Structure 1
């Protein structure tokens, strides 16, 4: 767990899955996505209890316990994938994304990885580029107006 007195980052609990899914939905409103926009994605945006139980998922919360953001890693094709990194819509731009990013780097190192990959929302791609991740591809989705931006982040000692 990381802490600075005003906030802490801790492992998420499976019973928080619904709250994290709601935070993820609120975060997407920052980019102007209307309600129901991601219906084309099916269960890809769902966060079931098993997701939190079976993967490294961490929550950034205030001293009072309010969740400000979270991230989660999964495995995909033998790669460690930063599957989710979301900051609550009213907290974006306050440096919390960077705190979660730095914690994710430490977590990936602790998992013994040399790199991780990110499948990014097009609006979040500039954030990952600013954090030093290298874009290597784009992937189409069933929604022609929305393309995943694929990044790699090599971990150095």
Structure 2
């Protein structure tokens, strides 16, 4: 039983390995077996330099990491590169908490929009958050495509 309130804080570089494991556990919610994303190479890696160089935020309660998100900057602007909730915590509203924090963070970064590259199973979540799907992108795994969303921040 939880005794504390949730909080979202900046991730620390020395948490990178734990965030990568949380990301892997989250993927099991959709039935992906361990190692399924090996075809993605380093795209799923979260090295300390990634945490140091990007806005990465952790949702925790009672010192337990429940989820996290990260923005990266690319040729297409600001990308919500990662948003993961631990598999045992999915469906409890933590994704929405992370999303709302991400929207505030994008606003604080002076952005008017950002994009999301989503797992096909998570696409309904982003649509429910009012992000608009504008494309799909193939990957090295023919049966798995990225669903691309754009979210425009309101004033």
Does TM-score exceed 0.5, indicating one fold? yes
What displacement does 1:35 show? 1.0
Once the two structures are superposed, what CA deviation does each residue of 1:89-117 show, in whole Å capped at 9, x if it has no partner? 00000000000000000000000001000
Q: Which residue of 1 aligns with 2:19?
A: 20
Q: Which residue of 2 aligns with 1:55?
A: 54
Q: Which residue of 1 aligns with 2:31?
A: 32
Once the two structures are superposed, what CA deviation does each residue of 1:39-83 show, in whole Å capped at 9, x if it has no partner? 100000000000100000000000x20000000000110410000
Structure 2 counterpart of 1:118, from 113, 116, 119: 116
Q: Secondary structure at the match of 2:102?
A: helix
- 5+ long unaligned stretches in structure 1: none
- The 5 A counterparts of 1:1-157 are 6-62=5-61, 64-157=62-155
The count of corresponding residues between Structure 1 and Structure 2 is 152
**Aligned residues: CA RMSD:** 0.7
CA distance in 1, matches of 2:24, 2:60: 17
Once the two structures are superposed, what CA deviation does each residue of 1:9-37 show, in whole Å capped at 9, x if it has no partner? 00000000000000000000000001111
CA distance in 2, matches of 1:19, 1:25: 10
CA distance in 2, matches of 1:114, 1:8: 25
Moved more, 114-123 or 72-81: 72-81
Q: TM-score, normalised by structure 1?
A: 0.96
CA distance in 2, matches of 1:151, 1:93: 21
CA distance in 2, matches of 1:76, 1:132: 22
CA distance in 1, matches of 2:124, 2:76: 26
Q: TM-score, normalised by structure 2?
A: 0.97
The runs of at least 4 consecutive aligned structure 1 residues that moved more than 2 Å come to: none
